[in-house]
Structure 1
Amino acid sequence: MRIYDPYTPTLDALRGTNIEVMFGVPNDVLQSLNDQNAANTWVSNNILRYSNNVRFKYIAVGNEVDPNNGNSRYVPFVLPAMQNVYNAIRNAGLGNQIKVSTATYTGLLGTSYPPSSGAFRDNVRGFIEPIIRFLVQNNQPMLANIYPYFSNPGSNLPYALFTAPGPVVNDNGRQYSNLFDAILDAHYAAQGRLGGGNVEIVVSESGWPSSGGSVATTGNAGTYYRNLISHVKGTSGTPMKPGRSIETFLFAMFDENKKPGSEEERHFGLFFPNQQPKYGQLSFN
């Protein structure tokens, strides 16, 4: 599971469960972690304190930081914070267990179609290229939030929901029958242009809202989640990266009924706020 900030009750509940955890450094903490001693303290308080019986797998240092959005003020702080958290994890002897990265998203891409033409926006390169270099040098994965829902799915809903009867996009012989793979491969192509073609991408978020938009229905969302789970559990991979499963985190566990912003943002949960399941039984095994 992925949690976005340190929350003691959640971490205590995870003790002894054997659940692998992606743990977030909130964006508003990034600047403070540009100091190595502060990063050491943060890791000690939030990771080492629990690491004997909580299975931390990834640390996401920042989420969707982008020179072009409201998170732009955090851009200078992401890489130094990643480096300092990585050093603290390695010095604690957990470097083989816990990977350190940051969570990006498709908004960083200037080109995503066809997938092989995927490229970061020109004004993003100065931010993301040193991060990719760090990941390459230290054998760490990239984390990416992948949302077909936010890519105009109404234009071809079956393509977005994994229900297209056959290939929809032919990209120089690579056949795409679902939008998820196309977006993911566009990210791989963009990384490859900056020397990160072999950096594995872990999908740190993907989901579909059940209300708040014309194609945001319980039926569509349930179809998306079921088909996404089936797809990423398989070994077909993507056309650009065949033969592998795709590690993916579903967003989100619960509807965020008090979340500000657009209505759809409050309806991504697999469960209602009262803890009742929205889509019946979903098979994760």
Structure 2
Amino acid sequence: MASFSSRSRTSSLTAAMLLLLGVLFMANLDMTGAQVGICYGMMGNNLPPATEVIALYKQHNIKRMRLYDPNQAALNALRNSGIEVMVGVPNSDLQRLSNPSDANSWVKNNVLNFWPSVKFRYIAVGNEISPVNGGTSWMAPFVLPALVNVFNAVRAAGLQDQIKVSIAVDMTLIGTSYPPSAGAFRGDVISYLAPIVGHLSYAKTPLFANIYTYFSYSGNPRDISLPYALFTSPSVLVWDSGRGYQNLFDAMLDSLYSALERLGGGNTLDVVVSESGWPSAGGFGTTSDNAGTYLSNLIRHVKGGTPKRPGKAIETYIFAMFDENQKQPELEKHFGAFSPNKQPKYNLNFGGHRNWDISTEQNATVSLKSDM
């Protein structure tokens, strides 16, 4: 009996160690796939210099950054930092970059001159251009030519596998979002998006999408509950094609996947969430508690995929690094994860000095009665 007891204790300890190692391995694997970045916006007159911002990213183990333009001070500060970068072509440059020689010059001056000491991951050619939005519709004809020209310039440098070139869209292009399996783009944007999706499929490049549950919730609080938008709902109502939805983020992203499939993107075209966040002031439902809850839950949640594409980490960029006091309207000033004095506004964990919470998220069910 003594011998059996000894073997039993040894086996139990061995099993426990193997389980612990397995959990640690899976946690590390998950973190690698779902590393969350932050968008570095600069529309403030009280923000720290770029060198201090890059140091802040490193201090908090934020390993990915989105830049909205090739700011030279930021790019120089990023040299040898190890931070992976999504750099943007500003909307104002799209018409110029529809000329191949100008696109070649842009890539040379803003990417190749910094590569490889700056780890470019993506180039976002324009942000939230829509052929039916009066403010950006005039730019829409230049998006595809600029996208193709920038891609060709990157390919000419032999970097098409390291640096992917895409566009960033918002959810206003979606015409049907409920249920998620019925997701479809608006009829009046199909001719704009179809050739872009075709190019992205050819180039094996993800689409970038800015996804905000906040705006869906604040625009329709009667049918969309706050817990559903914050990943905290304790109950479920929506079942769609055998898939249960416990949060609005998944429903919005899966409706986009469905729309892309209908447009010819197939089930292999990925989506990178290029912006997501929640304002802490300035509008309906904007509190520090709500913003902190959303961001902390988002960071945990994107490790696990969506009901339509489970087990696949969702690369995500939080909007934004700082509160930006020169943005309009008022709520746009309050999306920062940090204050301009570099103090964190919330207790967020980017995988640095604190341990990740690897506990399983609670099952939840939500009520969603109409299109998001």
Which TM class, normalised by the smaller chain length?
over 0.9
5+ unaligned residues in a row in structure 1: which ranges?
none
In the other structure, the counterpart of 1:165 is 234
1:279 aligned onto 2:322: no
In the other structure, the counterpart of 1:147 is 212
Alpha carbons 1:257, 1:273 under 8 Å: kept: no
Letter in 2 for 1:246: I
Alpha carbons 1:57, 1:98 under 8 Å: kept: yes
Larger Rg: 2
Map 1:181-192; keep pairs closer than 5 Å.
181-192=250-261
Letter in 1 for 2:67: I
TM value normalised by structure 2? 0.74
Q: Deviations over 1:144-192 (max 9, x none)?
A: 0000001025330000000012434211211000100000001001100
In the other structure, the counterpart of 2:76 is 12
State how far apart, in whole Å, the 1-side matches of 2:116 and 2:217 are.
44
Report the alpha carbon displacement of residue 59 of structure 1 after superposing the two structures with TM: 0.4
Q: Deviations over 1:176-234 (max 9, x none)?
A: 001000000010011000111321000000000000122110000000000000001x2
Alpha carbons 1:60, 1:102 under 8 Å: kept: yes
Q: Relative to structure 2, which stretch is displaced further, 189-198 or 97-106?
A: 189-198
Classify the secondary structure of the residue corresponding to 2:199.
helix
Classify the secondary structure of the residue corresponding to 1:204.
strand
Task: Calculate the aligned-residue CA RMSD, in Å.
Answer: 1.0
1:201 aligned onto 2:271: yes
Report the alpha carbon displacement of residue 274 of structure 1 after superposing the two structures with TM: 2.2
State how far apart, in whole Å, the 2-side matches of 1:250 and 1:239 are.
21
Report the alpha carbon displacement of residue 284 of structure 1 after superposing the two structures with TM: 1.3
Q: Deviations over 1:93-151 (max 9, x none)?
A: 11110000000110001111111111111110010010000011111110000000010
Runs of 4+ with >3 A deviation: none
Letter in 2 for 1:243: G
1:59 aligned onto 2:123: yes
Q: Deviations over 1:66-116 (max 9, x none)?
A: 012111111000010010000000101111100000001100011111111
TM value normalised by structure 1? 0.96
Aligned residues: 281
Q: Deviations over 1:233-272 (max 9, x none)?
A: x2x3101111111000000000111112x21111000011
Report the alpha carbon displacement of residue 58 of structure 1 after superposing the two structures with TM: 0.5
Among 288, 293, 310, which residue is 1:242 paired with?
310
